[in-house]
Amino acid sequence: MPFRLRSVRFRLTFWYVLTLAVILAASGVYWDRSLHRSLVGHMDEKLLLVAENAKAFHLQDHQDRPAPHACRSLETFIRSRNWSQYVQFLSPLGSVSCYTGNLKGFFLPASSEALQGARSGEPYFETIKLSKGQRIRLLSFPLVVDGELLDIIQVGDELDPIDQTLHQNRVLLLWFSPLLLVFLAVAGWFVTGRALSPVLRITSAVRKISAENLSERLPVEPSGDEIAHLQETFNSMLQRLEDSFTKVRQFTGDASHELRTPLAILRGETEVALRFAKDPQEWHRTLESNMEEIDRMGRIIEDLLALAKSEAGEIPLALTEVNLNDLMQDLYLQGKTLGDQKDVAFTLQLLVNQEIILCGDALQLHRMLLNLVSNGVKYTPSGGAVELSLAVEGSMAIIKVVDNGMGIAEEHFPHLFDRFYRVDEARNRDIGGTGLGLSIVQWIARGHGGDVAVSSTPGKGSVFTVSLPLGGPAEQP
Ligand code: ADP
């Protein structure tokens, strides 16, 4: 993978290293502070121990203020314990009365805070710097007997060893941290590279996919991780794209095929008329036939437009309260007119005992039912019967169009609602269908939150059942 500042790989590594650097810095500072606190704490304990021993020794041997000779025995006592601290006795006013031999040429200073602390009976710890630059940890310890402050014992120790230990620790941290960061940056770069390599594979595979090879699929990693999930998602998106491309292709092919037939008839008849027609009657016949084909093309285009618009969501349903009883009466009148034209009995059955109000688009509902009614009449031979009925089951309105016409074989059921699907191409063309009617029926029924179903027996008749929720669609389609 090439190095790019904006690449995910670089950004991941950068933030990972930056976070580690901040964690390392914070933990380094914390570690330094705690080490310092613990070492000084140990030293303070030691100073307190020396002070308490010096006090005990002093009170045991010399009840009074230490005299110069007593100082020497104190020195011997301290050395016998192998202690190297500086020890110095002060009077309550702060003058030096006794000190160990290691205090050559200097005294331990007594700050006013230390004297104040000792006078109030509290040991007082402080860190001081001598004129030679030595840093000393100093304890001023009150020697109190019977509530009276006899002396102040000062015990000091050099902080040099502690400072050295802390310094070594800091040097180690300052060297070790950048090295660790460099190592982690390199490791992070490789790990992110490995983790992102499937993304590169997906990118190059996706780049090769175009409208011509939509059937290609990405190989799915067996790991079952997020990347595999992404590949599966891509594949299902490709599947959907392929399906809709196929539908668009089929639709374009079907539409042009449907329009080509009446156009060819139009052309053929016009050519024949131009060549051979002599009298006005012949011209009239040709023009009449042409008119039929033009009407047919007009119907196809209108239906196609309605379907295309509905799929693009450009025909929002104008939902109002629709009185289904009234709608049934309208359809009955239209169905009767259609039936009368070819001697098909048309009846209406209202299996309800009150007015049924449904939330829907009156115009589209009318269009849907008229399609079913006119199909019923169209595909029922003379002498047959078609019945339109309305019932209510629970919260659903059930509208049925039952005919005793030619019927439909079961194998056609799955495709019946597809665009341009016709059970019998040749016969249906004669009848004048576009093959779009049932697609429109299905779209309108589903748009209202309902559906349409068919049951039929060839030679006996068909039943188309539309079920619609009375409350209307759950959401606007
Ligand atoms: P068309 O405009 O051809 O009628 P439709 O989409 O309305 O198109 O119907 C699709 C096909 O279903 C029709 O071509 C016809 O073969 C069949 N069909 C529809 N309704 C009936 C029916 N009531 N009886 C028998 N066949 C039917």
* pLDDT > 60? residue 134: yes
286-296 pLDDT tens trace: 899 889 888 88
- pLDDT at residue 200 tops 90: no
- Which residue among 254, 301, 346, 408 is best mutated to probe the pocket of ligand 1, counting the most ligand atoms within 8 A of its Cβ? 408
Least confident of 91-95, 198-202, 422-426: 422-426
Nearest CA to ligand 1 atom 8: 435
Return the ligand 1 atom nearest residue 433 CA: 2
Average pLDDT over residues 269-297: 88
- Listed range (21-30, 274-283, 461-470) with the worst mean pLDDT: 274-283
Question: Ligand 1 centre and the CA of 305: distance in Å?
Answer: 19
- Give the percent of the chain with pLDDT over 70: 94
Atom 19 in ligand 1: residue holding the nearest Cα: 375
Tens digit of pLDDT for each residue in 98-122?
A: 888 787 777 888 888 888 888 888 8
Is the model's pLDDT at 17 over the cut of 80?
yes
Is the per-residue pLDDT at 435 higher than 60? yes
pLDDT for 132 beyond 70: yes
Which residue's CA is the nearest one to ligand 1's atom 16?
423
Q: Above 90 in pLDDT, residue 336?
A: yes
How is the chain split into domains, by residue range? 8-164, 226-311, 320-469
Which residue lies with its CA nearest to atom 21 of ligand 1? 375
- Provide the pLDDT confidence category of residue 133 given band limits of 50, 70 and 90: confident
Among the CATH numbers 1.10.486.10, 3.30.70.1400, 3.20.20.150, 3.30.565.10, which is that of 320-469? 3.30.565.10
pLDDT at 252: 80
Comparing 131-145, 223-237, 253-267, 284-298, the range with the smallest average pLDDT is: 253-267
Ligand 1 atom closest to Cα of residue 380: 24
Instruction: Check if 8-164 and 320-469 are the same fold.
Output: no
Residue 350 has pLDDT above 60, yes or no: yes
Q: Residue 427 — pLDDT band, cuts 50, 70, 90?
A: low
Ligand 1 centroid – CA 185 distance (Å): 70
pLDDT at 209: 83
Q: In the predicted model, what is the mean pLDDT of residues 347-376?
A: 94
The arithmetic mean of pLDDT across residues 245-251, rounded, is: 78
Report pLDDT for 15.
92
Per-residue pLDDT, 61: 63
Nearest CA to ligand 1 atom 18: 375
CA of 10 to the centre of ligand 1 (A): 62
Average pLDDT of 334-359?
A: 94
Q: Is CATH 3.40.50.300 the right assignment for the domain spanning 8-164?
A: no
Give residue 423 CA to ligand 1 midpoint distance, Å: 7
The closest alpha carbon to 108, from 156, 64, 153, belongs to 156
Residues in contact with ligand 1 (CB, 6 Å cut-off)? 371, 375-376, 379, 403, 405-408, 416, 421-424, 428, 433-438, 462
Pocket test for ligand 1, best of 379, 403, 410 (most atoms within 8 A of CB): 379
pLDDT at 67: 54
Q: Give the pLDDT band (50/70/90) at residue 2.
A: low
User: Regarding the domain delimited by 226-311, which CATH topology (the fold level of the hierarchy) does it fall under?
Assistant: Helix Hairpins (1.10.287)
Give the pLDDT score at 425: 64
What pLDDT shows up at residue 80? 83
> Residue 477: what pLDDT?
47
Atom of ligand 1 nearest to the CA of 427: 16
Q: Mean pLDDT, the chain, as a whole number? A: 87
- Tens of pLDDT, residues 69-98: 567 777 788 888 888 888 888 888 888 878
From 417, 428, 452, the mutation candidate for ligand 1 (largest count of ligand atoms within 8 A of CB) is 428
